[in-house]
Structure 1
Amino acid sequence: MAMTTISSREFNQGASRAKKAALKGPVYITERGRPTHVLMTIDEFNRRQGTTPRTLLATLSQTATGDTIDFEPRKLGQITRPVDLD
């Protein structure tokens, strides 16, 4: 796994290059020579956290007795609006 270090100025001028470098390993972003941020892919982040996003298929295929599914749908907000029929 490659490790890349770039300055915040380089990052601001070439974010796409930094994102490409993050495919090979973490990208350390520095300010005044000191690392302040790390850029990595979401897959690498999840791997390091020990978590993987749960898919709908995995959720629906639960068969063990007593399993519960926590489900809290997001609020849709205003999905209707008055109609002027005149």
Structure 2
Amino acid sequence: MTLKTFSSREFNQFVSDAKRAANEGPVLITDRGEPAYALLSIKDYYKLAGNQLSLADALAQRDDDADFDFDAPTLDVTFKAADLP
């Protein structure tokens, strides 16, 4: 995997070259000489992101579809009556 660097100006002028370079590996886009952005092919992005289940998706699963076990902790709380004036 190769790492190619484009300045912001080069990236704006040569977008097609940057996209082709992203097929070979990550492309860093610099702003004032400092890395500011990374361009990845969608294949590399999916590999990096993995198949992680978001919290929202996990909470939205029905019990029979869940692929993980979760036992909520129980709270041992004692309530007392409030003293109202």
The TM-score normalised by the length of structure 2 is: 0.60
SS at match of 1:2: coil
- Measure how far apart 1:19 and its partner are: 0.1
SS at match of 2:51: coil
**1:33 to 2:27 alignment:** no
**1:7 to 2:7 alignment:** yes
SS at match of 2:29: strand
**1:17 to 2:56 alignment:** no
Two-structure CA RMSD over aligned residues (Å): 1.6
In structure 2, what is the Cα distance between the partners aligned to 1:23 and 1:11? 15
**Which aligned runs of 4 or more in structure 1 are off by greater than 2 angstroms?**
none
In structure 2, what is the Cα distance between the partners aligned to 1:48 and 1:31? 24
Which letter does structure 2 place at the counterpart of 1:51?
N
- After superposition, the C-alpha distances for 1:44-74 in whole angstroms (9 at most, x for unaligned) are 001011139xxxxxxxxxxxxx448xxxxxx
Residue ranges of structure 2 left out of the alignment (5+ in a row): 53-63, 67-85
The count of aligned residue pairs is 55
In the other structure, the counterpart of 2:75 is none
Residue ranges of structure 1 left out of the alignment (5+ in a row): 53-65, 69-86
In structure 1, what is the Cα distance between the partners aligned to 2:38 and 2:26? 6
**Structure number with bigger Rg:** 2
- After superposition, the C-alpha distances for 1:30-57 in whole angstroms (9 at most, x for unaligned) are 01100000001111001011139xxxxx
